[in-house]
Every structure is written in C-alpha cells, then in structure tokens.
Structure 1
Amino acid sequence: MSSPIRRRLSALTLCLLIAGCRGEGTGPDAATNTSPLPAAPTQASPESTALHEALLAQLANHRRIIVLLADEDKLAPATRQSATAIGQELFHENLERRTSIDAQFARLLARSQTTRFDAIAGELDYIESAPDLFDADRLAFVEVLRDLHDRLGAESSLPAIKLRQRIAQDLDALAEIERNYSAEISNVFGRFGTRAIELKREKWNDYVAHLRKQYDRDALLREHGVIEPYPMSLKDSDREIFGRDLPAKTVVLTFDDGPHHAYTEEITAILKRYGAPATFFEVGRNLGRLGADGKPTLGPMASISRGLIEQGYTVGNHSLTHAQLSRETGASLRSQILDTDVLLRGIDEKRAPLFRFPYGARNAEGLQVLGEAKLKSVMWNIDSLDWADPVPDSITQRVLDQVRAQQRGIVLFHDIHERTVKALPQILDRLVAEGYRFAAWNGRDFSVARETAPQQTVTTGYDRSWALVIGIDEYAHWPRLGYAANDAQAIADTLTTQFDFPSSQVIVLKNGEATRNNILAAFHDRLGHGELGRNDRVFVFFAGHGATQRLASGRELGYLIPVDSDPQRFASDAIAMSDIQNIAESLSAKHVLFVMDACYSGLGLTRGAGTNAFLRENARRTARQMLTAGGADQQVADSGPGGHSVFTWVLLQALSGNGDLNGDGLITGTELAAYVAPAVSGISQQTPAFGSLPGSQGGEFVFQIPQREEFLTASTQQLSSDAIAMNQKVEQLQPEDGSAPVTVKSLQGGEQQLVVPAHTGRLSDREVAQRANDRGLQLYKEKRYAEAEQAFTEALKLRPDFALAANNLGFLYYRQGQYAQAARWLENTLKIDPSRAVAYRNLGDAYRELHDKDRAGHAYRTYLELQPAGLAADSVREQLRTL
C-alpha cells in the first residue's frame, strides 16, 4: 500500500501535467492562507500539542531560510552576508530543535499507554496530508522522520512495527520529491553541510512565491537585528573618503590637530560669518585621558570640542597622540584609535564616526581596526600646507589653485596656526564669489544640507517669542464651556515644551483672570510698550465664546467675549474684532498669528492681503495672520479627544508636525490653515476661516519643527481610542499631495485657495532620518505598529548609528510581544550608545519576558548604575526583586 504522501504526489504530478497547477494540494488555496504557519490538528492532547508546536517551529525556520536565501545572486553583498548569517542561525536552531523533538518522541514511546502510538500517528497524518502544506514544506520533516524511524526500530510491538513501515514509505515518497527538485534547495541548504536535497524545479518558483506572501526577507533580517543601510552616495572606496567624487563646486572644510585654546574659536567665528559647516579632527591627548578602568577623565580643552558639537560642527577622531600609525600595530595601534573614540564619546555621543590618520599614514591593520569600530577614514585631496607655509597669502593662493583645478574636494587645514586664521576669510570670500558650496557630514556622507540660505534665516530669524493664551469656561453670564481652559493650557504647554517659547513670555489667562481689562492690558502693557522687539513673533490663542452684531450699516462685526462680559452689553464690554485689528497693527513684532477657537463673523476688514508663497522673502516681510474656528451661528464642537474642542485638537496635531505639508521642517500660518480648516469642516459643522489682517506685508508666521528625542518605554503614553479615531478621520481629509491647493473660507466670508509652496531644498539624510523617527513615534502612539516599524526602519537605513530609532524599533517589537526581536534591537541600541540608560531598562523588560533572569538582572542593574534616581528607578528595583 502506498503512503498518503506518495498518493498525493501522484495526484499533484497529474495536475501539473494536465492543468499546470501550483502543487498546493487539495483543500483551500494556499495563496489565500495569510497565516505563516498551518493550523494544529484538532482534538490534540497537551503532549501532542507541544510536539506539534515544535514541528511548526521547525517548519517556520525552514520557510524563513528559503525566503532569506532564494535568489541570493541578486542580493547586494552586504545583504547576502547578513541573510546567510541569519540563515545559519535559523538552521542551527532547527538542529537543536530536531534533538528536542526526538526527545519528545522518546518520552511518548517510553509510556506504557497504547495511546502513545495514536499521538505519533496524529503527527504523521498532519505531515502526510495537511492540505495547507506544499511538498517542499514536508521536506522540513525529513530528518525528524528519519530519527523517529530509527527510534521505532527498538520497539517490537505490532503498532510500532506498523508505524515504522508507514514512516519508511513516507521517507521513500519524500526521497522522490527530493529527486524531482533540481539545484534550488541545495543552493539554500547545501552551505550548511548536513544534507543535500534536490527538489522539483517546476514547482519551486510557485513555492517560493507562496512563502514570500507570508515572509518578507527585509522583515526577517529586521527581526534578527539587521537593517541594511542605503548605499553610500560617494564613489570613493567603502573604507575611505577623499572627496574626489563630491558634486561639482562642492568642498568640505576640515581642521586637524585641535582643539586650540584660542584659534579654534576664532575659526568658528569666521565660519559663522559665511554660514559654512566644517569638520574638526581632534587629538585625544588634548581632550583628556583614560584611567586604568578605561573611563575617560576630560580636561579643560574638552569643553571646546563640546561647544563645536553644540554649534552643529562635526567632530571626529585624529588619534590619541598624533603618532604615525602606519608604523603601529597591535594594542598600541588600537589604543591610538579606540581610546580617542572613548574620549570623544565622553564629550558627546553625537561625535561623528570619522577618523583621520595623522600625516595620512595608514596600514591595512589600521583600516581593519576602523572597520571593527565602525569608523570611516576621511582623507583629503586639497592640502593647504598651512602647517609648513608661514605666509597667509601663499596658503590662500595654494588652496584656491587646487580647488579650481579639481572643482571639488576635501580641504586640509589645521586649527592650531594663526596663519590659518588669517588665510581662511580670503579663501572663503573667493569660494563663495565663485559659487562653491560647503558640504557637511550628514551621518552617511558629505552633502550640502540646504540649497538656499534664506530658509535658514526663517528658522532662526526671531529674536524672541511671545504668546498670549486665553481660555474661558467659567462664564458668569454666558453658557459655561467645558473645553476652553484645557485647550488654552495645552496650547501654552506646546509652545513652551515643543517650540521653546520662554514660559516668562507666555501669558496665560484662564477663567476669572480673562477679564476684558486683563486681556487688553496684556496686549498694551506687556506686548505694546517696549518689551516687544521688531524681530520678535507673537502667537495669540483665544478659546471661549464669540458673538456677532449687525451694525446699522448692515455690516457684521465680530466680538471675543471675556469672562466678565454681559450678554446685554457685549458691544461695549466685549472685545471687538476692530480692536484686535488695531492691536495687530500697533504691535512692533515681525510676525503675529491670531488663532481663535470661537465662532463669529464680520471682521470688518478694509482689505484682505493674500498669503505669500515665497519664504525666502519672509525674513523681511511682516505678517499679521488670523485663523478662526467658524462663522456666526455655528457652535464650536467640543467633542474632541482629551477634553479638547475639535478645532484645538486638530490644531495640536498640526503643531506636532503633521502641519508640515511640504516637508521642509517648517509650519507656516498658511500650512496650519491648510491642514486645520478642511479637517475641522469635514468632521464638524464649523467652517474655519483664514487670512491676513491690515498691516500685513505678505509674510508668514513660522514654527520650526523640533527634533523629538523621545525614547519609547513602558511609560510612553499612547492615544485613546477616540483620539486615534479622530486622527484617522483627519488624515483621510488631507490631500495626498501636501502642496496641492486647498479651498478654505477667507476672513471676509468668501472662498480662497491656499497654496503651500513645494519644498525644493535638499534635506540631509540625518534630517530625513529624524523625520522618519518622529513619524514612527506618532504612528506608535496611534497604535499603527506596522507603519511605525516601517518608519523606524527607514530612519535606520538612512542612519545606521541612530540609537534613538534602534531603541524605538526594539520597544515596538516588545509592545507586540516579540521579545526576542526586541532584545536584539535593544542590544543594537547599546552597541551604538552604551550610555543610554533607558535602553537598559527596556532590555531588562524584554529578557524578563524571555525568562532570562541573568540578562534581565544585568540590564536592570546597569540602568540603576546610570540612573539611580531616574523616573523608572523604583519600578526597576521592584522588577529586580521579583526576578
């Protein structure tokens, strides 16, 4: 009698010959099976269930290995190497599991009950005839069946003999399957050296396509702690950068041998005048020393390097003592490189992973040490010879001649010579005049971060930031509200924590404080008499009642209602919008934005200036803009999440970064309106309006999006279900193209189209990676885990050394119960940044869930050493006590 596997094979072969079927077998089409593993047999005993789960795990790794290594000749070398390494890991897991499965069979056979054979027969039924298995899937069990066949040979009972015969027939059928395949499986598994299986070619592509619907190679690599970065854009060798392949008219300014107690600061002052970035390669002995315990003791010069990093300059490694490293080997060579790296990390973990060999003298061993330490060698192709030439004019001419000849490159200077300080302005004058651009290190290569300087002026163009924030719930004579004071406080907190408005310059008036006199006094006394500068910005927010009065002329006039206003006399004791217009014109600030979470109409404008689309003019044009929640006879929707109105909730989402519609890192008044107005109109009965007030010259109020430094932990708050639902509605209402025109109400009651200018500047990889991480954080808080995983992955492809994104990806796995993957990424985080305490806490949590008490305890104790009084210290101590 033939086995079920043999009978099934015959049917499949006939199917292939007649109809070209894929070989899934009878039953449901496997292509529709989205589960990565088949289901367990029904009515299984606990012992059989445990055995079945082990077999499923064996099958899962078998499939993963195939997905990782299929078509490997098409993979990039780095990806191929990573896939092979992880495939090896999975293969050896299966070897260990095979031993475990064999032991489980042994325990079953050691029992006296006759049902022990039923349990084994049940697993054979599954392997032989489960409809959701491909023939290639069944090959995952060849060794398991061989082991069981050998073990049953020691049994003399009739049931054991029958089972052994059945397994022998199954092995014959599997051997036939193996013979029908050609080289595919041997290409995948042959490298592991324990079996050589050849399978059927005509079904192999279908089988791999089926597996790829269940597994993704990049996802498998990511789960095992590997994300391959995007290829470097430079064409220099993988290990060294010379600058010969920079874009035309692009130079990198580098300074060696510092820091210097005087000349380094003078050089940075010159660089600032020209807006030029630079890289400084520091000698370790100038920074401090390492103790016998390997910990750094920083000296006074270290503060100069720290200041360079804080100012945005790149700081790299120039060896410990400036020795000629081509003559060094072994421990001495490693000390020259690695000890300085420890000192630089002691100054700031943001130190760049760049190294410059003193004198350019290097050997193969030195380059190997750099590779192990994940440092990149930066050479030069333009030498100023400022170390030898005492004449500044001669240095200037030499550099300019070389730059003009090569049209690009990395320039070698030293910040320890006065002659360099004297030559540098002349060099920069000529380079700027001739159209050269200065490139900076972005985390992967040297690039020009932004194409145009005026946008930089916008982001840093304000001297001071002011705000008046008003929220009124507790009206005495008007209907009480339940959201306004909460809205006001949330806006004030956002201004101070996200956008660095000084708390002393954010005036908050809530409830009883928000009288007419107090509101007007805040405008006139705090903002109108001397304290406000011409290069300042003012943000005004009002949440409360609004009202509209029709004047004798037929024109409507809107009012903001203070807490002490009488409904019978609001025309005299409220604040008319004509008063707001007068206030706006009287303020000396460059840019003023009014945001009114109140419904009224009739601003009584004499004119309405359109918004200006040219941000490069923004620094010299005043702005007086207003965004309102709705018109007359419209009720403010107070059903937003978290006790906010719908309008303010959407406004807060815009300020969190969603309002950056063109991706330039800025949120303008126009972008706020283009994001908020359509969303609020789409989910409420309000029609927000936007426009410019008299006195505006077409400028834009601007927020610069801050970098988010939030490391995800167990204490990270996620949004409530109603907040998530609201954000989904808001997102659906946004146009796919952020630069597409958006129709909103004008302040005069008509309609207008807002056009957000497309961003044409080039963002550095570091900036793009930061934004991807920020997006991942937002998606995590909205519990959109798959999208968050992709965002954190993108950040790490752009910046492999991005500890923040590595931690966040690790915690994302933890939150989803994927503890082994979480531990891998948290370990990666600590390789990048060993001082990151929060990652130790997360790592301890992951190992605790994996029941690895030793590793969990070590991670928790390390956290407490780094943060003995941290916010999570008590929780971590409790976890230690319960291990």
Structure 2
Amino acid sequence: MNYRRPLIAAIALSLVAAAGFLVYKKSDAGKNTDPSSGNPAESSAPIAAVSAEILNGPEQLLAAYRKIIVLLADEKNLSSKEKAAANQVGQSLFHENLARLEKINEQQRQLQTQPVAQREASYDALLAYIESGKDLYDADRLAFREVLLSLQKQVAVEQTLPAIKVHKRISEDLTALDDIEKQYDQELKDIFSRFDSRAIQPKRERWDDYLAHLRGIYTREQIMKDYGVIVPYVPTAEVAAQDAKENKEASKSSEIFGNGLPPKTVVLSFDDGPHPRYTAEIAAILKQYNVPAVFFEVGKNIGNVNAQGKESLGNNAKISRDLLAAGYALGNHSYSHALLSKQTGNSLHDEITQTDQLLKAVDAKRSPLFRFPYGARNKEGMELLSSLGLRSVMWNIDSLDWADPVPSSIADRVLSSVSKEQRGIILFHDIHERSIKALPLVLDKLIADGYSFAGWDGKEFTVSKDNKPSTEKTSVSTGYQNSWAVVIGINDYAKWPKLQYAVQDAKAIRDTLVNRFGFSSDKVLTLSNGEATRNNIMALFHDKLAHAQLKKDDRVFVFFAGHGATRKLSSGRNLGYIIPVDSDPDQLASDAIPMTDLQNIAESLNAKHVLFVMDACYSGLGLTRGGGSSNFLRENAKRMGRQMLTAGGADQMVADGGPNGHSIFTWTLLQALSGKADLNGDGMITATELAAYIAPAVSSVSQQTPAFGSLPGSEGGEFVFELPTETEFLSAQTSQLPADAIAMNTKLDNGRKAEVAENSGSSGGTITIKNLQGEEQKIATPKQADASTRQLAQRANDKGLQLYKEKQYQEAEKAFTEALKYRPDFGLAANNLGFVYYKQEKYAEAARWFENTLQIDASRAIAYLNLGDARAHLGETEKAKKAYNSFLELAPNNPNVPYVREQLKKLG
C-alpha cells in the first residue's frame, strides 16, 4: 500500500462533492452509481479533472500545518526575539487553519444534501486518501484528527448500513492516529506493529526524517518573510538597554505579566474557546485537581452583535455560564481573533467592546481581563483598554499546544519552562484534544513540586485557601521512560525438592507485563529451569541491565518463583536467600543469592523505581518503611523507590495448588494486577496497594504470611502499574474464569475482607501485614480518588467486566448500570449491560440494551451479533436475520462469521 501521496486530495474530494462533482472509486469507473441520474457521463467527473482551484484550500491546510512545525522545530536554539516572532507567525498560520477547518466542516455538512451514491463515493475517496496518500507522512495525518472527528459526528446522524460502515472505518482510523501519536510520544524508540483490521497503516518513520522532509520544502526564514516578519540582527548594547527600559516601564503599567507572580506560583489560562467539546473536559480536569483558571474567550464563539448593536448569544454561551458557576474567570480575547496590533479606530474598538458586551450578557460577573490575540498590541489598543476599565494579561510560558501534536511533548515544554522561570502565566488553548491529554501530566508534576495556583479574585491573581490543590487526589502519572523486567521460574532443581508451578507462574507474569502493561518483550529478560544458574541470574543484573544503559526515569520489575531459604548468622540475625537451580543445600552461603546482594543490586540500578516480587518464603532483610499517603504519592515522580514483596516468612512452604497451574501467591498477584489491587479506584496500582491486597488475601487461604516493605536506601518512591482501560464489548466469545478460579477468588475476596476487618481494629484505614523480619507493620490504605464522570463511568465498567468474568451477574449488572448513570451515552457499558441480561436469559431486556448501544454507536458490529442472538431466543426471526446480516456487512472477516452464517441457516 502506498503512503506518501499528499493528503490534500483527501479533503479536496469533500469540496468536489459540495461543488456538485461526482467522485468515483477507480473500480466504479464507467458505472452509474447515482440511481437518480439517467446518464453516467453527465453524473460523473474523473478525479484527474478536479481543478487546481478546488485543491487549493486543502493544500493550504496541510501546508500551514507543516510550516508551523518548521517554524518551531528548533525552538530551544532560537533567541527570545526569534522565538517570539516565530510564535506570532505560527499562531497566524494556526488560526488561518481554524478558519479552513470550519470551511471544510461546512462543506462536509453540505455533503449531507447530496445524493446517497455521490455521498458514499466521496466518503470512500476521502478516507482512502487519508489512509494511503502516497506522499503522506504519519505526522501529517495528526493534522487531520479534527477533520475525521467532525466527519464521524456527521456520519453518525445517518442510520443506513453504508453510513454505519463508514463510521466504523473512521473509528479505526482515529484509533490508528492514537497509535501514531504514541509513536512520537515514546520518542520514536518503538517500531509500530501492523494492524490488519485498520485502514491507516503506521510506518517506521522517525520524527527527524519527517522534519528533514519538511525542511526540504520550507525554510523558517522564508515562512516568516512571507508573513511580513524579518527578525533583526542582535541589537547593539544601546538598543538592548532601551528594550530593557521599555520592558521595565511596561511591567509597571496595569498590564499583568507572569514574571510578577510570587515564587513557585502559576496561573493557568486557556484561550480561543469556548469549544463545544473540549472546554467542558478541561473544566472537569481542573475541578478534579481543585485548581483555578481563567478562560479568554473569542466573542464570535459566544454569539454575535448585529449592526444595531444588539447582542445575541449562541449555544456556547451555556458553556461560559457553566465555567463561571464553577468558579473560573472569563476574559475577553477579542471578537474574531484579529491581529489587533494592526487595527485602529472602529474596527479595533468593535473587536474589544463587542466581546465585552457578549460576556456581560452571559453574566455581569465577567472579569475585566483582556488578552490580545498573539500577544500583539499597540498603543491605541492599550489606551482603549484603559478607557474601558480592562486589563491586558500576557503570558511567559507558552505550551505551544496550538502547534505541537504530541501531548507529552507539550507537557515537557511547559514543565521545563516553569522550572526555568519558577513562576508564570501558562498559555493553553481549550480547543484541542491534545491539551486535554497534556494538562493532567502538567498538573501532577507541578503539584508534586509544590507549586501554588493563583486565581482571579476580582482585583489580582492570588492564591486562596479554597484554591489549594486537592491533597486527597491520589492519581499518579507513571512517567516511566522504559519498563524493564527480570522474570525467573525454576521447577527442576537438582538438589532441592522439585516444584510444580514456578515456571508456569513466571510465564504468566511475563505475559501480563507484556500484554497488559505494555512492557516491550525485548526488555523482559527471562530465565527458566536449567538457565537459572547463579551465574546467569547475576549476569542478568550486572551485565544485561547494566549494558542496557538504564535511565533515571526507567522502572525495573523483578519476579522470582522458586525456593527460598533462611540462615541464622552467628550474630543471631537472619539472612534470607533465593535459590538458583544449581545451588547445593549444604553450600548455601556460596551457592545461593543472599538478600543483601539483591539490595546492593537494587541500589546500583540507575532506575527510578525497582520492585522485587518473590514467590518464595524466607526472612532476613530489614525494611525501612511500608506505607504511603496521597501527599507521598504526589511526589512519586521525583523519589527513588526500592521495594520488595515476598510470598511468606521463614520456614513457610509456598502453597501451590492455585487455579490454572499457579501457586496461590502468584494467582493472587495476577488477580491483583487485573485490577483488584486498585484500592482507591484511580486507575493505578502502587506496590503498596499490591501488598495491601495480596497479603491479607493469601494469609486467609494458606499458611503463608506475605511480607512487604521498602529496601534500605529507598527515598519513598512507589513502583506504579497503570491499568489499561478495558474496551471489550461482551459477547458469547468473551472468556470467563473456570469454576476452580471463581471459587478461589471468592475465598480470597471473602478472606481478605475478614482479615482486614480483624487487623484494622480501631486504626480505621490501615492494614496490618508483616515485614521481612516477621514483625508487624501497618499500611495506610489509600482514600478513594476523585474523578470526572467519564473516569467514574470507565471504572464502573471495568469493575463490571471483572465481575462478569467471575460470573457474578447481578453485581456486574449493578456496575454497568452505575457506569451508565455517570455516562448515559456510554455505548460500551450499554452493550455489556445487555449481555449480562442475556446471560441471565432476560432476552427482551438484553435486546433493548443492544439496540440502545447501536443508537449510541451504530458502527459496533459485535452489538449486532448480540442483538441477533437475543432476537433469535425471542423467536423474532426476521429481526434476528436483519441483525446478523448487519454484522456480516460490518465485519466480514470477523472470527464469528462462521457462527453467524450457521445461525442464519438455522433461521431459514
């Protein structure tokens, strides 16, 4: 498949259709695809005949995106004046593209009025070019996310099967864009896999290759020159002194600058809204963190003012009112986002006053804050603000979220600038999906570093007690650069009793790390049975990990399943050992690996967090601490962590006989990592949460007493697993746990609850477990995390999926119902609720919920399959056949196709 053909033709085809041309797929050449037309020749126009004028708009869209990247590619090497000039030109390009996108959206809306065949052909041609444009780089595709989102929304209105297929195709393309984003998010170190089911095929291209390609087309100097900007040479000392004097005088004016804030204080500001989708999500994140912000709004996004001076508010005005009701400040960002430094007279006056009039119509409590578009102001504009009682607000930290397509890069830029400035007004925009993704990364780090957030109090930006970030919020961003693991399992000991399940345990842990938590398979180092000699184990740590050049933001997970032993030293102190496959019981001191060696290894590894999980029983390593608080978790990103969790204490036998060929300890660990150890519901599992879940559960069903703590030298950091979001639509093919696994989980859950209730006593939110010396310690259980309604809905759905797999249908029904209360439009939960009804043989209720799913998201093929099954059970043959056929149309290559064809044959 070709990838490198310009994407401009993709959007051009939308314009072609709106202009009245009929677009054909090549395979349809010569056919009349419009039944309303009698003459194929009169109803078609070959793509080759599309005029250059029609292609011009989309070409400019892609070209402007590329120019922005070229302008800002070397931002770190630019002088302050060069950077300011490049930013101003870049923002001009960006806002021109906003206008182009709106025009394209309007042309897509007009496409809805075209004949069906013409509309479908246009959709197909549009998506084909996006997916396989010959000269299109992956990074180019990121520029068209909003085009796809808009098209997806418009297609969703149609309920025809062809439109549903297009909706599904767009969804797959958007998913592929997420993968492209992750490619650059991981600094281009991982190579994309191929996704046969997706139309967009990510390639193996580096960002540097893409940038080199763009530099072959554009230069920064020419772009800026085209926009009337030439950066002067480095000024003389006299000019520099004059500039400094002018800046000093400006800082004394009524204008507000970020460098005037107190140390370690920031103001969050968001420009260009309100946006019908993204502004509310930004506000939800801010509420979750309990931090203030100011939103500088563009007047035309709120409403309009007619020639008689009468204002009229639009649909977005409700968003503005909601922001005010939530305690955020609203500021003026001009009416049309014009370059006000080049405006004078009535045009300048109207740009400022019309938006102020609209903001007052929203609510008289609007703030007197004004931000010049692009930060470009002139003397007349400043005087006009003064006469109107408005104050200009600048910024000193630019996220560049309007230019940078990668959220982690945006976050890194902001954090680096804040670290340098130590205070400031941060510029974001509430009109980008990427800003939503970057914002939590920024807030987590700033709060961890002790920054305060200032809000507008009516006179100035101040930090109030009410604006103090929530210390109870315990969501932790992992922030790991690379994830490494050492996984060892030994059954076939030569001189120690053989074990049954250790190798199977190690394999399951490896699969979980790779398949569930995204560890790269080449970074999971494994040894089993005869490979796990003392020399080989030590070589993994001292050679392979050392040669891997671990970085300070890496994590290392170590799992050992095998024998452990404890030896009492002459001092009376116990020393624990792990037993390699070639160890002699009579030569423990020389053949085995003492815990002190593991402690030294842990301290020597150049990684942020290291966690040892040992499915072996021993004692003999003093631990320094074993708990944490939400405040402690906030600083997790900057604290080194070295922790260990063991299956039991000295002279205790590891309990094999768990489900699926696992020891009880490893089975419980696997269940914990499936989500059960997320005790506070924040989507993260810390090492402390693992211990708090596993220790009482294992103790309740065996003679083992798992132990946990931090190794000496640890600075209090927590190893963190970030749970993946569950996206499975339940169906008859969804796997469930076997009877013995369900029985064991029931024992573990019930036993754990009893142990926790007994051991907590009057301590409330604490759990009593052992350290490696066999002494009791108390671990504080984390408090329930705050979350947005979207997050709460996802957590409820994830819980329901877990309960379904354990065949707890009534509890799963409650969980999916809860998810839908948080988000009534949550198609995933709607389908899953329907399938729980189906499993309980409530077929009519199931069918209703499958139909609800399809109303929410008509492209979900699996919901048609489920609906067909439910209708068949109800004896509604024709409805069942219709649903099955829709499934076949949407998913012709799905593994369930043979089953569906068999069902259709039975229905006749």
- Please indicate the TM-score interval, normalised by the length of the shorter structure: 0.5 to 0.7
- Aligned ranges 1:633-648 → 2 under 5 Å: 633-648=651-666
* SS of the residue 2:576 aligns to: strand
- Aligned ranges 1:420-569 → 2 under 5 Å: 433=424, 452-454=443-445, 458-569=476-587
* SS of the residue 2:495 aligns to: coil
Residues 305 and 315, structure 1, Cα contact 8 Å, conserved in 2? no
Superposition deviation, residue 702 in structure 1: 0.8
Residues 829, 340 of structure 1: CA spacing in aligned structure 2 closer, same or farther, 3 A cutoff?
A: closer
Residues 300 and 335, structure 2, Cα contact 8 Å, conserved in 1? no
Question: Residue 791 of structure 1 aligns with which residue?
Answer: 815
Residues 437, 577 of structure 1: CA spacing in aligned structure 2 closer, same or farther, 3 A cutoff?
A: same
Superposition deviation, residue 640 in structure 1: 1.6
What is the CA–CA distance in structure 1 between the aligned matches of 2:612 and 2:340, rounded to whole Å? 58
Picking from 614, 618, 624, the partner of 1:596 is: 614
**Residues 120-151 of structure 1, C-alpha deviation per residue, up to 9 Å, x if partnerless?**
xxxxxxxxxxxxxxxxxxxxxxxxxxxxxxxx
Superposition deviation, residue 411 in structure 1: 11
What is the CA–CA distance in structure 1 between the aligned matches of 2:819 and 2:398, rounded to whole Å? 36
Residue 741 of structure 2 is aligned to residue 723 of structure 1: yes
- Aligned ranges 1:586-625 → 2 under 5 Å: 586-603=604-621, 605=622, 608-613=624-629, 614-625=632-643
Residues 480, 308 of structure 1: CA spacing in aligned structure 2 closer, same or farther, 3 A cutoff?
A: farther
Paired AA for residue 495 in structure 1? L
What is the CA–CA distance in structure 2 between the aligned matches of 1:645 and 1:400, rounded to whole Å? 68
Question: Residue 778 of structure 2 aligns with which residue?
Answer: 753
| Greater gyration radius | 1
Paired AA for residue 526 in structure 2? V
Residue 880 of structure 2 is aligned to residue 864 of structure 1: no
Paired AA for residue 558 in structure 1? G
Question: Residue 847 of structure 2 aligns with which residue?
Answer: 823
Question: Residue 877 of structure 1 aligns with which residue?
Answer: 901
Picking from 389, 396, 403, the partner of 2:338 is: 389
What is the CA–CA distance in structure 1 between the aligned matches of 2:831 and 2:851, rounded to whole Å? 9
* SS of the residue 2:577 aligns to: strand
Superposition deviation, residue 301 in structure 1: 7.7
Superposition deviation, residue 689 in structure 1: 0.8
- Aligned ranges 1:80-119 → 2 under 5 Å: none
Residues 658, 843 of structure 1: CA spacing in aligned structure 2 closer, same or farther, 3 A cutoff?
A: same
What is the CA–CA distance in structure 2 between the aligned matches of 1:554 and 1:407, rounded to whole Å? 73
Paired AA for residue 874 in structure 2? L
Question: Residue 189 of structure 1 aligns with which residue?
Answer: none
What is the CA–CA distance in structure 2 between the aligned matches of 1:387 and 1:267, rounded to whole Å? 24
Superposition deviation, residue 566 in structure 1: 2.3
What is the CA–CA distance in structure 2 between the aligned matches of 1:566 and 1:287, rounded to whole Å? 78
Superposition deviation, residue 424 in structure 1: 7.7
**Residues 740-772 of structure 1, C-alpha deviation per residue, up to 9 Å, x if partnerless?**
111111123211111134356x31111110000
Superposition deviation, residue 813 in structure 1: 1.1
Superposition deviation, residue 345 in structure 1: 6.0
Superposition deviation, residue 358 in structure 1: 8.0
Picking from 830, 835, 839, the partner of 1:806 is: 830
Superposition deviation, residue 815 in structure 1: 1.0
* SS of the residue 2:656 aligns to: coil
> Matched residue pairs, number?
592
Residues 516 and 575, structure 1, Cα contact 8 Å, conserved in 2? yes
Superposition deviation, residue 661 in structure 1: 1.4
**Residues 177-208 of structure 1, C-alpha deviation per residue, up to 9 Å, x if partnerless?**
xxxxxxxxxxxxxxxxxxxxxxxxxxxxxxxx
Paired AA for residue 482 in structure 2? R
Superposition deviation, residue 866 in structure 1: 2.3
- Aligned ranges 1:570-581 → 2 under 5 Å: 570-581=588-599
What is the CA–CA distance in structure 2 between the aligned matches of 1:706 and 1:647, rounded to whole Å? 23
Residues 474 and 512, structure 1, Cα contact 8 Å, conserved in 2? yes
Superposition deviation, residue 262 in structure 1: 4.8
Superposition deviation, residue 457 in structure 1: 9.4
Superposition deviation, residue 800 in structure 1: 1.7
- Where does the alignment leave 5 or more consecutive residues of structure 2 unmatched? 1-59, 75-82, 84-94, 132-137, 179-274, 280-298, 305-313, 322-329, 379-392, 400-413, 449-473
What is the CA–CA distance in structure 2 between the aligned matches of 1:723 and 1:266, rounded to whole Å? 56
Superposition deviation, residue 590 in structure 1: 0.5
**Residues 776-807 of structure 1, C-alpha deviation per residue, up to 9 Å, x if partnerless?**
00111111111111111111111122111111
Residues 847 and 856, structure 1, Cα contact 8 Å, conserved in 2? yes
What is the CA–CA distance in structure 2 between the aligned matches of 1:410 and 1:839, rounded to whole Å? 50
Superposition deviation, residue 880 in structure 1: 2.3
Deviates more, 1:725-734 or 1:776-785: 725-734
Paired AA for residue 644 in structure 1? H
Residues 439 and 449, structure 1, Cα contact 8 Å, conserved in 2? no
Residues 485, 339 of structure 1: CA spacing in aligned structure 2 closer, same or farther, 3 A cutoff?
A: closer
What is the CA–CA distance in structure 1 between the aligned matches of 2:152 and 2:842, rounded to whole Å? 42
What is the CA–CA distance in structure 2 between the aligned matches of 1:408 and 1:309, rounded to whole Å? 35
Question: Residue 879 of structure 2 aligns with which residue?
Answer: 855
Residues 397 and 425, structure 2, Cα contact 8 Å, conserved in 1? no
Residues 575, 400 of structure 1: CA spacing in aligned structure 2 closer, same or farther, 3 A cutoff?
A: farther
What is the CA–CA distance in structure 2 between the aligned matches of 1:413 and 1:509, rounded to whole Å? 62
**Residues 80-107 of structure 1, C-alpha deviation per residue, up to 9 Å, x if partnerless?**
xxxxxxxxxxxxxxxxxxxxxxxxxxxx
Superposition deviation, residue 638 in structure 1: 0.9
Paired AA for residue 333 in structure 2? S
Question: Residue 46 of structure 2 aligns with which residue?
Answer: none
Residues 283 and 318, structure 1, Cα contact 8 Å, conserved in 2? no
Residues 555 and 610, structure 2, Cα contact 8 Å, conserved in 1? yes
* SS of the residue 2:525 aligns to: strand
Picking from 714, 717, 724, the partner of 2:732 is: 714
Residues 624 and 709, structure 2, Cα contact 8 Å, conserved in 1? yes
Question: Residue 34 of structure 1 aligns with which residue?
Answer: none
Residues 558 and 577, structure 1, Cα contact 8 Å, conserved in 2? yes
Superposition deviation, residue 634 in structure 1: 0.6
Residues 745, 865 of structure 1: CA spacing in aligned structure 2 closer, same or farther, 3 A cutoff?
A: same
- Aligned ranges 1:7-22 → 2 under 5 Å: none
What is the CA–CA distance in structure 2 between the aligned matches of 1:412 and 1:316, rounded to whole Å? 29
Residues 537, 714 of structure 1: CA spacing in aligned structure 2 closer, same or farther, 3 A cutoff?
A: same
What is the CA–CA distance in structure 1 between the aligned matches of 2:338 and 2:903, rounded to whole Å? 64
Question: Residue 367 of structure 1 aligns with which residue?
Answer: none
Superposition deviation, residue 384 in structure 1: 2.3
Residues 386 and 413, structure 1, Cα contact 8 Å, conserved in 2? no
* SS of the residue 2:603 aligns to: helix
Paired AA for residue 769 in structure 2? V
Superposition deviation, residue 318 in structure 1: 12
**Residues 232-280 of structure 1, C-alpha deviation per residue, up to 9 Å, x if partnerless?**
xxxxxxxxxxxxxxxxxxxxxxxxx98963588799999xx9xxxx999
- Aligned ranges 1:251-290 → 2 under 5 Å: 261-262=65-66, 283=102, 285=104
* SS of the residue 2:880 aligns to: helix
**Residues 823-866 of structure 1, C-alpha deviation per residue, up to 9 Å, x if partnerless?**
11111111211221211221221122122222222222222222
Residues 304, 767 of structure 1: CA spacing in aligned structure 2 closer, same or farther, 3 A cutoff?
A: farther
C-alpha root-mean-square deviation of aligned residues, in Å? 5.3
Residue 857 of structure 2 is aligned to residue 837 of structure 1: no
Superposition deviation, residue 346 in structure 1: 7.9
Q: Percent identity?
A: 49
What is the CA–CA distance in structure 2 between the aligned matches of 1:658 and 1:513, rounded to whole Å? 33
**Residues 496-540 of structure 1, C-alpha deviation per residue, up to 9 Å, x if partnerless?**
122111111111222222222221111112212343111100000
Paired AA for residue 478 in structure 1? W
Superposition deviation, residue 413 in structure 1: 11
Residues 830, 522 of structure 1: CA spacing in aligned structure 2 closer, same or farther, 3 A cutoff?
A: same
What is the CA–CA distance in structure 2 between the aligned matches of 1:538 and 1:480, rounded to whole Å? 28
Paired AA for residue 771 in structure 2? S
Query: How does the TM-score come out when normalised to structure 1?
Result: 0.58
Picking from 648, 659, 675, the partner of 1:657 is: 675
* SS of the residue 2:612 aligns to: strand
**Residues 621-645 of structure 1, C-alpha deviation per residue, up to 9 Å, x if partnerless?**
1001000011111111112222211
**Residues 468-491 of structure 1, C-alpha deviation per residue, up to 9 Å, x if partnerless?**
111111222222211111111111
